[in-house]
Amino acid sequence: MYQVAVYGKGGIGKSTMSANISVSLAEKGLKVMQVGCDPKHDSTRLLLGGRPQTTVLEYVRNVPVGRRRLEDVIETGTSGVLCTEAGGPEPGIGCAGRGILTTFDTLKKLGADKLDTDVRIYDVLGDVVCGGFAVPLRGEYADGIVLVTSGEFMAMYAANNIMKGLANFDTGEPRLIGIILNSRGVEGEEELVRRFAKAAGTEVIAVIPRHRLFSEAEANGHTVREMYPDSEVSVAVDSIAQRIIDVRDGRCRAVSPTPLDDDQMSDLAAGREIRPGNGSAIRTRNGCTGCGRRTSIKDVPIMHSCATYGAVAAYLKIEDVAVVLHGPLSCVYMMDTARAKSVLELFSRGIYKSRPNHNLFCTRMDDSVSIFGGTRLLEDTLRDVVSHGYRDVAVVTTCMPGIIGDDCRTVVDRISMENPSVNIDLVEADGDIAGEYNDGFMMAMDHIVQMIDSDVPKEEGLVNIIATSFFDVHTREHAEGLTRMLSRFGLRENCRLVDETTSESIRGFCRASFDMMLNDTANCRELAAKVKERTGREPFPVPIPVGLYDYEEWITLMGESMGMEDRAAEEIRCIEEEYAAFVSEHAPRFAGKRVIIINKLTHNVDWLIDILKDLGADIVRVGFSPSPRKAGCEPVSRHMDMIVRDYDTDRLNEDMVALDPDLLISDLVKPVSGKCRLARFSKIGVGATPVLEYAEYLENIMRLPQDAGWKEGRKV
């Protein structure tokens, strides 16, 4: 079977040409099938007596998979031409290009490829050759391409773009049969189009005159070729059909065009001589040429997780908020599974009081929704969620509604008006269109902080903890350490923004007297700024401390704020004595040891630098190597003079040789050799004591032998 794609600007007459060519081919004894690929679905109308037929997309939308039959979407028209129409979504909804893909896939599954046909004609919209409308250009669909144009500039511009699109689907064989000039009566039209064709390396294979026979035939629901077979128009159409047959049979060849560049198109429009182009012809490829153009994966920023997941993760930290994921079921499965795994682990440790909630709903968008739009699914899902009694709902969009342009705002506003007691947030993260995980998380937090009621009266003895991640205190010991620190001043937690919490807790955020950042990271500072913008409250000047010196500063400021200076001074005296005793006992093991510290996540590691210096270690390098998710974040440290930014593995390899360290402390998996030992970063908790425990861990690491003699039963 020989396949021909007829392309042209919308309204240029390609459907009329396609139908006439199909009849001509059929009259020459060929078995012909015509596939209309224009959302207007009027390609086959003249082959069916002026009657429209059921489109494939309409059929897909209304008929379940198990009940679909090929004969329901294919009709026999004039001269036995088989007719089918792709159709398209409602104007302004969904993706018509995606509809072409679905049409081709459906026809294939229903057995269209097994039909007894000699030629298949694809009638395709060509104003913009997007991914969907470009499908017929692919080698498995189009053996030959025919372009329909007039002498109007935009029609030739569209034809030129189609030639550029053809380059992206180069099969290695010439496929452009030629250009049909469908005359509009413009002065000098034929000469202009022939100049265009010559400059592009092709030719005008037929000139169709502007003739009343077209309107007369169409008024009767027929083609000119059928009603007036001996007319001038029919003679021209027959020449096109014969050209297609000749190319198919090898009596003449198609060409590989050279699309005009912008300067050449300007020359054409201005009537000037067309200057030489840049030589961007479609060239035959011998083997793969793409590999040589690829860059190393090191040059490509990797997105570990999308903005949608970040927004979903933020909302799922609130136990009684329903999250509606507007997207496919696969997305909700991966997101819910990843979260449930981590929360179950914390539940098993006794950190979380309850198992993970599953307040995550999905609109279950599928391939058909990408064509017809998914707003109806979103509306139905929201009504269902509201009927379950949820009073706080978050809608988070995935890639699919962002790409097809679903009007989610209108749906959310309509459901909100119907249910005034229900608060519905809309976060249009659109998968990775809005960015990566942290971007989506912060988009969600913009809405979540609006839940805070700034008029709630304060209650003494309450404190809020602010952080995007609470893994610093996600062991029983760490959580108890935070509780002990606060209780020394008669404080207890009011709200964790945002961790295992409820909407009521967030609304009562302003009951607390203090808002404290859990750690000093870029994300935590950004979240604290959002809280300040909402409430006007300044966060406590020192985050929850880690290490002796931050602890002393925090204790001093807290004592002053609470009028408990004596208690703060006593606490500082006790911890300094404990710290000094520890340093005296353990310094001999660390004295003179050369240490490299690599921090990939831009945490504040002053506590580590401080304890190592106090123990007498020689810190020869502190490298900050931000991960892609932390790109652009600036390190925060008292020891900025020691920090090397943008530290990568190549630099580390050099330093491992040049600096000859005894200990590498890193959150990277890095093999070491010789005398060097590898220690991993860990979440050590808060306060001064956990730092001492981590130093003991480092000491034990340095005691370990480098070889694996224990595996062989040797004494080590």
- Catalogue the active-site residues: 9, 14, 40, 127
Which secondary-structure segment (H or E) carries 418? helix 408-418
Whether the upstream peptide bond of residue 583 has omega within 30° of 0, thus cis, is: no
Strands ordered across the beta sheet of 204-208:
75-76, 82-85, 32-37, 119-125, 2-8, 144-149, 176-182, 204-208
Q: Are 528 and 503 in contact (CB under 8 A)?
A: no
Give the DSSP H or E segment for 7.
Answer: strand 2-8
Which residues, listed in sequence order, are joined to residue 344 by a DSSP beta bridge? none
204: β partners: 179
Separation between Cα atoms, residue 499 and residue 497, nearest integer Å: 6
Beta bridge partners of 666: 598, 680
Q: How far does Cα 557 stand from its chain's mean position?
A: 45
Q: What is the DSSP letter of 133?
A: T
SS3 state of residue 552:
helix
Tokens of 90: 């409602």
Nearest to 587 by CA among 624, 629, 615, 607: 615
Tokens of 39: 């959302």
- 689-703 helix and 565-590 helix, angle to the nearest 10 degrees: 10
Continuous H helices in 615-688: 649-658
Greatest alpha-carbon span in the chain:
111
324, 362 contact by CB (below 8 A): yes
Query: What are 497's strand-pairing partners?
Result: 466
Q: State the Cα torsion 536-542-544-545 to the nearest 10°.
A: 170
3-state secondary structure 162-182: HHHHHHCCCCCCCCEEEEEEE
User: DSSP strand E in 308-437: where?
Assistant: 322-326, 360-362, 392-397, 423-427
**Rounded Cα gap, residues 161 and 100, in angstroms:** 19
Count the neighbouring beta carbons within 10 Å of the beta carbon of residue 418: 11
**How far, in Å, CA of 462 to CA of 509, rounded?**
10
Calculate the alpha carbon distances from 232 to 207, 212, 237, 239 in Å. 10, 12, 9, 11
H/E run at residue 229: none
Place of tokens 């159709």: 87
For the sheet containing 514-517, what is the strand order? 492-497, 462-466, 514-517
Please list, in sequence order, all residues whose beta carbon lies within 8 angstroms of the beta carbon of residue 490, skipping any fewer than 6 positions away: 461, 562
Beta carbons of 406 and 397 less than 8 angstroms apart: yes
Angle formed at CA 149 by CA 146 and CA 150, multiple of 5 degrees? 155
